[in-house]
């Protein structure tokens, strides 16, 4: 961020406003295109165009921010002083610091506002926002329960803006041999200290009353070539049966979770019903599995079904936020050429669900799950609609096998863990391959309040560290009995919306005055 800001600010002062905006947009666009081409390189596993066109589109947000930062977000003290102004009338240290903080506020507000817009405009794709870069800093990210992950981006840009301003001024002072205080720097330090203090307080809070649920997560590792091939249907069912009964046959479990589209055919298919009836008759546990529903007269749904005792009367959630070109082709009839960049597996479009009701569970005692399918766990504004004032567990079923052994699954996990912090609910993730794990309500994969000091609660080869394996994960997940309703759960991304709107109004006002 610092090199980008420096390149946006350090230019000739006598260039026209139009050239300044175009230059800023160009630099921002190049930065964004470079960023997304690397971050989304795994999309080439689906289609070359997807890994190229989407980054080209997403880079527009960086370009817009670059145009803003190079004009409205450029500190005023960087403009050349008027020659007729005597030395004793030049800006004071307090005024310079104020101008620096003001520019940092606008730049941070514009960035997080654009990230919020990116997460909702044209279906939305908020993947790998700047705040996600902090996903391993457990202390600083606790503030997400108030301002969301897009709000964390504000802190990064605000501090980077002030740091860039200070560095530029120090370089100028070195040339002239005159040094002065930089009063804006302590402001950035104080902001970081406040975030650090907030996170420390949150992480040190003792656990309250909890419900301990014995959960089994199954990672089948089914290849995409086999998953949709009817010749492998029975083998797939047998694999999930064996990987489940290997544990439920010798110990009691409350909840078993299978990944997205785990079984071939539809939920109401006679073969699937007979298979599930036989499996669930062996032991008493609740099975949450990702499976398709083909409902005559309604459509095809990508669903989570919860079963107990048999396949009759399933409790289902139907995926609301579908993946463009993966689960449906936008403007399919209007622009037929769009079919060519869609997934080769998509025939008929999936139908989006409409209900945001959590699924009620019974074992070992009543609680509910917040059901999220695939990359729905990257949308905070969707997940918060399921929040209720009762014990809740976020359940995500996903299939990152589309993207091979790439960075997609690790990036997906890094984005998903912020839902736990924003809502203060733990999460159980069952992936077809990649990152099957448990996450507590503070975004940690470790059992922070458990009796042992084990490692991360995830499916992993202990010798190689490889997570792309076939394995089941038996664990205990603790669900807070009285979970808080966080500020983010109540207000969503209001912080980013307000600051983004403020930056927009300042930019409009400046344009009207010029």
Show which residues are catalytic. 260, 319, 374
For residues 101 and 161, the answer to whether their CB atoms sit within 8 Å is no
Using alpha carbons, list the distances in angstroms from residue 316 to 22, 107, 288, 303: 50, 43, 9, 7
SS (H, E, C) 411-457: HHHHHHHHHHHHHCCCEEEEECCCCCEEECCCCCCCCCCCCCCCCCC
As a whole number of angstroms, the distance between CA 235 and CA 470 comes to 14
Sheet holding 437-439, edge to edge: 359-361, 367-373, 392-398, 427-431, 437-439
- CA distance linking residue 272 with residue 280, whole number of Å: 12
Task: Print the SS3 string covering 445-472.
Answer: CCCCCCCCCCCCCECCCCCCCCCCCCEE
Main-chain phi, psi angles of 328, to 5 degrees:
-160, 155
User: Whole-angstrom Cα distance, residue 79 to residue 60?
Assistant: 27
Sheet with 255-258: list strands edge to edge.
315-318, 299-308, 286-295, 255-258, 210-219, 471-480
Backbone φ and ψ for 428, nearest 5 degrees, come out as: -115, 120
Query: Minimal CA–CA distance to 459: which of 505, 413, 510, 512?
Result: 413
CB neighbours of residue 11 within 10 Å: 16
Contact predicate 413/447, CB 8 Å: no
| d(C-alpha 413, C-alpha 35), whole Å | 19
Around 93, how many Cα atoms within 13 Å sit in the side-chain half-sphere? Answer: 8
- 47/41 Cα distance (integer angstroms): 11
């Amino acid at each position: 961020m610092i090199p980008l800001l420096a390149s946006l600010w350090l230019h000739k002062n006598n260039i026209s406003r139009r050239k300044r905006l175009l230059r800023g947009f160009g630099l921002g666009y190049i930065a964004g295109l470079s960023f997304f081409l690397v971050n989304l390189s795994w999309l080439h596993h689906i289609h070359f165009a997807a890994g190229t066109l989407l980054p080209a589109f997403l880079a527009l947000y960086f370009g817009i921010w670059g145009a803003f930062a190079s004009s409205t977000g450029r500190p005023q003290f960087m403009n050349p002083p008027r020659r007729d102004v005597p030395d004793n009338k030049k800006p004071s240290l307090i005024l310079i610091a104020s101008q620096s903080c003001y520019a940092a506020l606008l730049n941070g507000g514009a960035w997080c506002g654009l990230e919020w817009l990116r997460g909702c405009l044209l279906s939305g794709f908020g993947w790998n926002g700047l705040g996600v870069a902090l996903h391993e800093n457990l202390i600083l990210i606790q503030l997400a329960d108030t301002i969301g992950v897009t709000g964390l981006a504000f802190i990064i840009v605000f501090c980077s803006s002030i740091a860039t301003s200070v560095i530029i001024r120090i370089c100028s002072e070195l040339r002239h041999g005159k040094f002065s205080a930089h009063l804006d720097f302590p402001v950035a330090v104080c902001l970081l200290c406040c975030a650090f203090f907030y996170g420390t307080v949150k992480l040190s809070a003792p656990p309250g009353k909890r419900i301990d649920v014995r959960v089994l997560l199954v990672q089948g590792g089914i290849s995409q070539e086999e998953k949709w091939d009817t010749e492998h249907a029975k083998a797939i069912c047998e694999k999930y049966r064996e990987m489940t009964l290997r544990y439920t046959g010798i110990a009691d479990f409350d909840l078993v979770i299978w990944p997205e589209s785990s079984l071939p055919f539809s939920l109401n298919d006679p073969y699937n019903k007979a298979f599930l009836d036989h499996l669930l008759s062996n032991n008493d546990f609740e099975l949450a599995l990702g499976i398709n529903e083909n409902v005559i007269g309604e459509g095809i749904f990508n669903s989570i079904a919860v079963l107990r005792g048999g396949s009759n009367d399933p409790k289902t959630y139907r995926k609301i936020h579908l993946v463009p070109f993966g689960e449906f082709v936008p403007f399919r009839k209007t622009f037929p050429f769009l079919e060519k960049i869609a997934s080769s597996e998509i025939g008929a479009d999936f139908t989006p669900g409409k209900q945001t009701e959590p699924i009620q569970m019974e074992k070992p005692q009543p609680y509910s799950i917040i059901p999220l399918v695939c990359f729905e766990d990257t949308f905070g504004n969707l997940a918060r609609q399921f929040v209720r004032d009762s014990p809740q567990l976020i359940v995500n079923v996903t299939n990152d096998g589309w993207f091979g052994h790439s960075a997609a699954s690790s990036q997906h996990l890094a984005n998903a863990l912020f839902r736990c912090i924003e809502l203060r609910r733990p999460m159980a993730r069952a992936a077809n391959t990649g990152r099957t794990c448990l996450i507590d309500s503070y975004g940690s994969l470790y059992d922070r309040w458990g009796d042992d000091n084990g490692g991360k609660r995830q499916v992993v080869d202990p010798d190689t560290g490889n997570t792309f394996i076939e394995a089941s994960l038996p664990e205990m997940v603790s669900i807070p009995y009285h979970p808080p309703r966080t500020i983010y759960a109540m207000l969503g991304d209001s912080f980013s919306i307000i600051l983004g709107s403020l930056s927009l109004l300042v930019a409009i006002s400046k344009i009207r005055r010029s």
